[in-house]
Amino acid sequence: MTAFVLDASAGVELLLTTDVGERLQNQIPAGADWWVPEHYYVEVAGALRRALINERAPEAKVLTAFQQLQAAPLRRAQVRPLLAEAWAFKDNITLADAVYVVLAKHLDAALVTADRNLVNAPGLPVQTIHP
C-alpha cells in the first residue's frame, strides 16, 4: 500500500467533488493509505464552513462533505512531534503547511495538495501531487 499525505486544500476539493478534486482523485491509485496531521480536521471543517457561507457549494453537499470528513478512514499523526522540524520551513511556508510536508517526509510519502503556493515553495523535500 502506498502512503499519501493529504493536506486540507486537497481534502476540501476531494470532499466537495470539485473539478480540482476529480483531477486529484485521478492521480491517486486505488487502495492508497491516507495520512493527515490532527489539525487537518479543523482546517477542512473551517473551509467547508466558508464554502457554505460564501455559497461556493450547496448546503446539502457541504453537509455531506462534513459527514464524510468525520467518517473518513484517515491515519492521524500528532502535530507536536512534527513542530520542531516544521519550524525549519518557516521562511517559505506556513507552519500548518510545513507540518504536512514533514509528515510526508517522515512517511516517505507524496503530499497531495491543491495549494499552488505550497507546490511552488522552494526547498520542499517531498514529491507533490497537485491538479
Chunked mean pLDDT (size 10), the chain, 131 residues: 93 97 94 95 98 96 98 97 97 97 97 97 96 94
Residue 115 pLDDT: 97
Return the CATH number at 61.
Answer: 3.40.50.1010
DSSP β-ladder status, 128-129 and 75-77 = unpaired
Sheet containing strand 110-112, strands side by side:
75-77, 33-37, 3-6, 110-112, 128-129
* Full residue range of the structural domain in which residue 118 is found: 3-129
**What does the alpha-carbon distance between residue 45 and residue 1 come to, in Å, rounded to a whole number?**
27
Residue 57 makes CB contacts below 8 A (sequence gap 6+) with 16, 51, 65
For residues 21 and 51, is the Cβ–Cβ distance under 8 A? Answer: no
Total structural domains in the chain? 1
Q: With CA atoms as reference, report the closest residue to 4 among 81, 74, 86.
A: 74
